[in-house]
Amino acid sequence: MRETVATLSQRGRIVIPASYRRALGIEAGDEVVLVLEDDEVRVMTLQTPIKDAQAVVGRYVPEGRSLVQELTEERNAESRRG
């Protein structure tokens, strides 16, 4: 695990080191997700929790089945009904 020390500013800000930003693929102005767990703060991209949720749901969806396609078809059918 790579560790570094950062200083909390008086306004409560922490600078994420450039090497960490590159590793996460984030730039100035990007939104990140903060998770507080067991007295630790995790910083992750917005895509990380989405991928985690997809992995959980994916365990219950048979291979070859597309929930997105099914939802789209249901919505199209509803709109045709009026």
Integer Cα distance of 82 and 68 in angstroms:
21
Greatest C-alpha distance within the chain = 60
pLDDT of residue 1: 58
Architecture per CATH, 1-43: Ribbon (2.10)
Q: Where in the chain is the domain with CATH 2.10.260.10?
A: 1-43
CA–CA separation, 35 and 41 (whole Å)? 5
Coil, helix or strand for 14?
A: coil
Which pTM was predicted?
0.61
Q: How far apart are CA 10 and CA 32, in angstroms?
A: 21
29-43 residue pLDDT tens: 999 999 999 999 999
**pLDDT band with cut points at 50, 70 and 90 for residue 8:** very high
Q: Please compute the mean of the pLDDT values over residues 37-65 and round it to a whole number.
A: 91
